């Protein structure tokens, strides 16, 4: 029974990340992209028109007006691109 629980605890987050990455790749709905563990080479060769919004040691948030941001970031060497800057489904201020 504990192996089944451990498997679910592993598969649910991996599946969620995969879903987010897939949505980011096929749609341009997100106003920004979160790239996990960017290399120095990746940051030095960002695609034309991509701007850095914020940066931490483990991630960088990027934005661009051009369509296909996720595909451009993957082509530049990003290994995981997630959507960033979405409003979410919870109402603001109550």
Distances (CA, A) of 17 to 23, 36, 73, 92: 10, 11, 17, 25
In 10 A of CB 28, how many CB atoms?
Answer: 16
Domains of the chain: 2-84 (3.30.70)
pLDDT tens digit sequence for 32-41: 999 999 998 9
- By C-alpha distance, which of 25, 41, 29, 38 is closest to 78? 38
Q: Indicate if the alpha-carbon torsion angle 82, 85, 73, 68 is positive or negative.
A: positive
Distance of CA 91 to the CA centre of its chain: 23
Q: pTM here?
A: 0.80
Q: What digits encode the pLDDT tens for the residues 7-34?
A: 999 999 999 999 999 989 898 888 999 9
């Amino acid at each position: 029974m504990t192996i089944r629980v451990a498997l679910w605890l592993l598969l649910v987050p991996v599946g969620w990340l995969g879903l987010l990455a897939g949505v980011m790749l096929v749609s341009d709905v997100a106003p920004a992209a979160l790239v996990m563990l960017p290399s120095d080479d990746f940051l030095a060769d960002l695609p034309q028109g991509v701007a850095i919004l914020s940066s931490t040691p483990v991630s960088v948030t990027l934005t661009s007006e051009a369509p296909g941001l996720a595909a451009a970031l993957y082509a530049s060497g990003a290994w995981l691109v997630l959507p960033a800057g979405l409003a979410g489904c919870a109402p603001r201020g109550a």
